Amino acid sequence: MTSEIGEFLRAKRERVAPEERGLPAGGRRRVPGLRREEVALLAGISPDYYVRLEQGRARAASDQVLDAIARVLSLDDVERDHLRVLARPDAVAPAPRALSTPAARHGVRALLEAMPQVPAFVLGPAMDVLATNLLGEALIALPDGPRNMARHVFLDPTSPSYYPEWAKVARETAAHLRRMAGLLPDAPEIAALIGELTIGSDDFVREWARQEVVVKTHGRKLVDHPEVGRLSLDYETLTLPDEPGLMLVTYTAADERTSDALRTLGSWAASRSSGDRAVRPPVADGHDRAPSAER
């Protein structure tokens, strides 16, 4: 059975052309990119050791060896860290208490409520929405019941309408989930989610096969909200201290139109929350809503 580190390294080998490393490109090659023995040669290690590493049988690889392989394969900093996690899982596995977190602690929930003008929520290791403030709840607009951002992206048929740049979001979601799976290899909720998405979404299978990893610390995201139309949002993602895998996500408006829309959305959300059912947000008209992008 192919190991997780083997799949990762093979995918990264295949993206490096031999001529990029000064090797002849000729000859019969069954697969694109570098062969195992070529990676070993360029990294200064024995081919046998590299094979054992890809097979998951070299559990004590040094930083020097892993850094050499990372240089050969042109891994970025996030991919390099992911390689270390895969190569030495026993050294990075978290304490059992961190493998499953059913809810955000009270102090974090109080923090969310203390910033009512900023859409904010907490994501668990498997991208479950553990807590939101009122504006965050209105923004993400997920259905009732167990809510999960990865399921929304890959299993909800309305997701491509919500995310105008759906392909980018899908790629980043799969890459984030792969990183979390490496950091928390014994988390049952992550394994279960990956299995569910693999069965239910061909799009996920395709993105998962890329073997990409990403740390989503900040960026910009477009949302086509069903009530207030197109929003351009800057997000910041903060890892919570002493809570491995839990992230606080905040959004701020990237332009004036989005700022106005968030204020409107917050006002409607507050009215609904206070029980004033007479105030109902109308669906944004065609002047405010840009057409959704195709997949």
All domains of the chain, ordered by start, with CATH? 4-92 (1.10.260.40), 106-273 (3.30.450.180)
Task: Tell me how many degrees the CA angle 229-235-238 measures, rounded to the nearest 5.
Answer: 145
Cβ-contact 148, 126 below 8 angstroms: yes
| Model confidence, pTM | 0.80
DSSP string for 149-188: HHHHHHH-TTHHHH-TTHHHHHHHHHHHHHHHHHH-TT-H
pLDDT of residue 253: 96
Report how far residue 96's alpha carbon sits from residue 128's, in angstroms, rounded to the nearest whole number: 19
pLDDT of residue 168: 96
Q: At what angle do helices 47-54 and 4-14 cross, to 10 degrees?
A: 120
Count other Cβ atoms within 10 Å, centred on residue 35: 16
pLDDT of residue 145: 65
Radius of gyration of the chain measured on its C-alpha atoms? 22
pLDDT of residue 2: 53
Residue located via tokens 């309305």: 158
Alpha helices per DSSP H over 55-133: 63-72, 77-87, 89-92, 106-113
> For residue 246, which of 49, 111, 155, 151 has the smallest C-alpha distance?
111
Cβ-contact 122, 108 below 8 angstroms: yes
pLDDT in tens for each of the 295 residues of the chain? 358 888 999 999 998 888 888 887 666 777 788 889 999 999 999 999 999 998 888 777 888 999 999 999 999 999 999 999 888 876 654 443 444 445 678 888 999 999 999 999 999 999 999 999 999 999 998 877 678 999 999 999 999 999 999 999 999 999 999 999 988 888 899 999 999 999 999 999 999 999 999 888 899 999 999 999 999 999 999 988 777 678 999 999 999 999 999 999 999 988 887 764 333 333 344 434 433 333 3
